[in-house]
Amino acid sequence: MSYREYVIAAYAVFVVVLLWDFAAPRLQVRAALRAARLRVSRIATREPPAELRR
């Protein structure tokens, strides 16, 4: 194959950028769900106000 290095470099750029495009939003979704889960568990473990405990 002629110009092999150039062809490989171009296709490598394509693959790397698409891999980033695949991974980045999945990490964002995971982080958003984790934050929501932590918020839910914080609310669940929060002690009720003193007047409600009496």
Partner 1 sequence: MNSPVLDRLIRWFHQLGSPPTFDRFAARWAPWAYVLGLLTMAVGLYGALFQVPADYQQGDSFRILYIHVPSAWMSMAIFALMAFYAAIGLVWRIKLCEILAMSCAPIGAAFTLITLATGSIWGKPMWGTWWEWDPRLTTELILLFLYLGVMGLYAAIDDRRNAARAAGFLAIVGVALLPVIRWSVVWWNSLHQGQTIRMFGESSMDASMLAPLAWMVVGTHLWFVGSLLTRARADNLVRESGKDWVARLVEARR
7 contacts 1 by C-beta, under 8 angstroms: yes
CB of 19 to partner 1, least distance (A): 10
CB of 49 to partner 1, least distance (A): 20
Which residues in 7-36 contact partner 1 (CB under 8 A)? 7, 9-11, 13-14, 17-18, 20-22, 24-26, 28-29, 32-33, 35-36
Helix (H) or strand (E) holding 24: helix 4-45
Residue 2 engages partner 1 in binding (rule: CB under 8 A): yes
Whole-angstrom Cα distance, residue 47 to residue 44?
A: 8
